[in-house]
Structure 1
Amino acid sequence: MRNPILIAAALLALAMPPAVAGDDAVVVYKSLSPEAALEAAQAALKKCRDNGFQIAVAVVDRFGQPQVMLRDRFAGLPAPDTAGSKAYTAVSFRAATGDLAKLIRAGQLDSGLARLPRVVMLAGGLPIEAGGALLGGIGVSGAPGGDKDEECAKAGLDAIRDRIDF
């Protein structure tokens, strides 16, 4: 009536540990610490202050979520939102936002991308990368020109470079 071989096989299957999934079942990634994000933001703010600019700076994690937002006292009202969107855009496209803006002007990227939510195609946003891994993004807004925003964002990256290179 009952097949002892089938019963033994079923019991054996239940007693065995589950099969180990391949490497693609679990994703391991590096993440920027809040301390490093704050240090980058503070360095960007200092660089812009030293240049006489009142700005906002944002650092987002690799998923575009805010980690740090600093706004200088006299930074313009849109500066915090724009800085956050620049950082988000840099992470989303894994590229400097100034480079993306140039590609749109040259017709090499569809201008419709600039109308996506939270996407800002203005210079001043940079991805934060180390060892081939995307860690986050930094965005600066409020200086008189995106090139100056980007200079401050770069100062933020330079401040933490030795801590994130691996």
Structure 2
Amino acid sequence: MVRTAPSLLAGALLALAAPLTSAAEEGTFNTPGLVPETAMKVVEAAMTECRDRDAQVAVAVVDRGGNTQALKRDQFAGPHTTKTAVSKAWTAISFRTDTLELRDISEPGKEGYGIQHLPRVTVLGGGKMIQNGGRILAGIGVSGAPSGAIDDECAAAGIDAIREEIL
């Protein structure tokens, strides 16, 4: 009987722990995100796309909490481009809308007018959400191309470079 007492005690502890585990699982959630290497792959692909268009840019990836995860600025990109790229990425995840779309709905007389005056918000093209199955993983911001539309296309190229990895 002495040998079975420890196993009975272990069994009783496991039985008690099982309900705690399922209760803990119900009270938490998993938040997916990009690993640093994948975030850098997004940055590199977006920058390559812009370089192919003769545009010197800064590219930033922020995690879903808005924290900068990866950032790179081309040698001749303007000094403002790093902060603008981060702000575009932050804006996209914060509003859960790409910044090109936000630009269009924030014009005078539109329903989103005024959001561009909020702190950290940048409603210029080039900020996009990086998503998988409708869940936001991160945001990308590109700044410095001749237009917001080109910034946006470069950001899309960055996302396309990792599409297979995040599915």
Q: State TM-score, norm by structure 2.
A: 0.84
Partner of 2:163: 161
Is residue 81–residue 143 contact of structure 2 (8 Å, CA) maintained in 1?
Answer: yes
For 1:33 and 1:113, the matched residues in 2 are separated by: 31
Is residue 50–residue 145 contact of structure 2 (8 Å, CA) maintained in 1?
Answer: yes
Compute the displacement of 1:22 (Å). 6.7
Compute the displacement of 1:80 (Å). 0.5
Partner of 2:54: 52
Structure 2: tracts of 5 or more residues without a match: 1-15
Runs of 4+ deviating beyond 6 Å: none
Compute the displacement of 1:106 (Å). 6.4
Structure 1: tracts of 5 or more residues without a match: 1-15
For 2:155 and 2:42, the matched residues in 1 are separated by: 8
For 2:82 and 2:71, the matched residues in 1 are separated by: 7
For 1:53 and 1:110, the matched residues in 2 are separated by: 30
SS at match of 1:111: coil
Partner of 2:117: 115
Tell me: CA distance 1:33–1:110, structure 2 relative to 1, closer, same or farther (3 Å).
Answer: same
Q: Which amino acid aligns with 1:68?
A: A
For 2:78 and 2:104, the matched residues in 1 are separated by: 25
SS at match of 1:32: coil
SS at match of 2:23: coil
Among candidates 90, 107, 131, match of residue 129 of structure 1: 131
CA RMSD, Structure 1 to Structure 2 (Å): 1.7
For 2:112 and 2:135, the matched residues in 1 are separated by: 26
Is residue 102–residue 112 contact of structure 2 (8 Å, CA) maintained in 1?
Answer: no
Paired residues in the alignment total 150
Identity %: 47
For 2:93 and 2:78, the matched residues in 1 are separated by: 24
Tell me: CA distance 1:164–1:106, structure 2 relative to 1, closer, same or farther (3 Å).
Answer: farther
Partner of 1:72: 74
For 1:149 and 1:93, the matched residues in 2 are separated by: 18
SS at match of 2:103: helix
Partner of 2:10: none
SS at match of 1:105: coil
